[in-house]
Every structure is written in C-alpha cells, then in structure tokens.
Structure 1
Amino acid sequence: MKRIEADTARGRERVPPGQYLVGDRWPVLTYGTTPKVDLKSWDFRVTGLVENPLRFSWEEWNELPKVEVKADMHCVTSWSKLDNVWSGVQAKHLLKLARPKPEARYLSAFCDGGYTTNLPVEELYEEDALFATHHNGEPLTPDHGWPLRLVVPRLYAWKSAKWIRGIELLEEDRPGFWEENGYHNYGDPWREQRYVFDE
C-alpha cells in the first residue's frame, strides 16, 4: 500500500492560529443523528460533469487500490489532532476513472443524513485527499463516518465529510449545508477561514 506524508502545514508550524491540540482524543461533532448504514444496499457514485459516471457497491469499493495518508486534522471549533493515519482510496484515482469534463470546476459531496459540502475539484487532485475507510489502522467508527469518509487534510474538518455516498462534479459552485449556514466557503485553517464574516 502506498504511503503519503501530507504537508498540511505547508512548511509552517503544524498547529494553525487559534487551534489547540487534543492529544489522543478525537472529539465527535455531528449535526443530527448518526446514520444507520446497510452495506448490502450501500453504494458510492461519481456523477455530473464526467465522461464516465461511476457506481460502486461496497464489495466493488473494497477492490479499488488503497493508499495510506499521514496527516493532521483541524476542526473549525478550534481543536487539532496530529499524525492521523488514514487508509482508503486516493481521490485522484477516482477522478482518473471518471474522467472529469473540462468545465467541471467544483464538486458537491453528498452524504447519508442529507449532509452536503462543496470543494473545488482541484482539491481532489492533491496527493493527500482520499476517501477513507480506516483511521490509525482501525475501521472508522459510526460517529466518525463509517463506512466511508472524505478526507481533505489541508482544509477544516467539516470539508472531510462523514458518511459520504458520492460526489457530483459541477461547472458552478454549490455551497453545502454548513456553507449555507454561515461557514466559510473554502475553509483554510491557516487563514482562519471559519465563517463567512472572516473574509
């Protein structure tokens, strides 16, 4: 399995401004209840502006090549957890399979429980972006996104959507749940882009 060391600090100190370390703890922050997932009916889709729309069952998902990413995690609520080891499918591998159309500049990630978030498509081409099934060698717990979580270490953790079921590639940006409720549209922890009024 390929191992990737993320440079989420981008050459700076590892803890962004306004953050504190939680050590071995991993706080659980969720809006609403934790979804109940049936792996027999679970699927993952890549749709929208792609040449090759994708759909995977859980069994098919687990046949995809895996990577490990060691990266820090920064939550908008001010905690940081260092040296997380995620394993799963590298995001850019899925994009290679789906073949985005030239006009696909953004994506909407959609999840069980009705949650969505948005990102520029270019974020999924970063080496450390992945769709994770494991954290520190163990399967994700339901509270932390089991069976699948998007991980985008360079952004605040709300962009690393839990219980993800797919992505839709778009020409124009479509803000997600938290972005429509006052959170910053991009969410760079090093620029403290927490809320819309931080611009």
Structure 2
Amino acid sequence: MSEQSRVPPRQRVVKTFPVLSINGTPEIDIAKWRLKLFGLVEREIELTYEQVRSLPVVRKEADFHCVTGWSRLGDVWEGVWVRDVVALAQPKPEAKFVMVHCYDGYTTNLDLQVLLEEGMLVWAVNGEPLAPEHGYPLRLIVPRRYAWKRAKWGRGA
C-alpha cells in the first residue's frame, strides 16, 4: 500500500508527534495509578500498572490520524490487547458500548466489538516509553479510529 493511500483526505503527514489535550497533562503517581473496569461486567476489576504490564505483550504498526488534519505513518505501538484486559472482567452479553474515562477528565465512547477487535493499551511507541504528554502510563490505541478515540491517561471503562 502506498504511503499516500494511507493518508485520509485533507490530512498532511507530519514527522513530529503534536501534543493536543483538553485539560493539560495530568501528573500521575504510578504507585497509585489504577485501571478500573466496571458497569455491564460479570466482575468489576481494578488493575495496577504492573498487572496490566504482566499480560501478553503485543507490538503493532499502525498509522495515527488526528481530526485536526495531521497523520503519522508507521508508528509501532507496544502494549497489551484490550481484549485481554476486558476478558478479566467478563462483559455481560448486553454490553455493546464502552465509555473510556481518563485522568484528565476526558471521556470517549466506542463500540465494544471494535474495541475488542483492534484496541490496544500501549505504554511505548517506536521503542520509546510514552511521554507524559502523549498518555503515560497507558494510552488507548484503536487503529481504525481517529485520535479523539485514542484516549490518553486511561483510568477506567
């Protein structure tokens, strides 16, 4: 696939990783950080950063597109599949959508099936740990969705 065919209409390719956030970058104490899964699940869970990192690790190349008009191509993301995390909570059959909550107060919603098929919780990009302004400790990556669905500083869903 050609590079240009991977770029959505009216987007430009950038080499740097722009920083966009609604409420600035939160300061997160990793010792106190928790990821909570609740709602339409059989079992509500709360995971530490170490528990998330102990799940099977995956690396995936995926382009990154922002609704503000820029794209980055070929980034390699490292983390865990969302489906592996969600399986620990066992979603109920009636669960169809997910609301993702972030430490800065941001929320975004996603179709559960899309999230299970392609979602990742990542802690590194291109072999480097995520910088705080890009979502450390965990950022949600959903490759076929624009960046406003790729929530930074995840804390629960």
Superposition TM-score, scaled by structure 1 size: 0.75
Match of 1:99 in 2: 90
Matched, 1:134 2:136: no
* Distance in 1, Cα, partners of 2:50 & 2:81: 17
SS in 1 for 2:136: coil
Specify every segment of 5 or more residues in structure 1 that has no aligned partner in the other structure, as ranges: 1-6, 168-199
Q: 2:40 corresponds to which letter in structure 1? A: L
Deviation at 1:96, TM superposition (A): 2.0
Deviations 1:80-112 (A, max 9, x none): 000010011101112222211111011100000
* Distance in 2, Cα, partners of 1:138 & 1:54: 29
* Distance in 2, Cα, partners of 1:67 & 1:84: 14
The question of whether the paired residues in 1 share the 8 Å contact of 2:142 and 2:150 is answered with yes
* Distance in 2, Cα, partners of 1:40 & 1:31: 25
Matched, 1:117 2:108: yes
Percent identity reads: 47
Match of 2:155 in 1: 165
Aligned runs of 1:5-16 on 2, under 5 Å? 13-16=5-8
Specify every segment of 5 or more residues in structure 2 that has no aligned partner in the other structure, as ranges: none
Aligned runs of 1:18-33 on 2, under 5 Å? 18-22=10-14, 24-33=15-24
* Distance in 2, Cα, partners of 1:160 & 1:147: 14
The question of whether the paired residues in 1 share the 8 Å contact of 2:81 and 2:121 is answered with yes
Match of 2:79 in 1: 88
Superposition TM-score, scaled by structure 2 size: 0.94
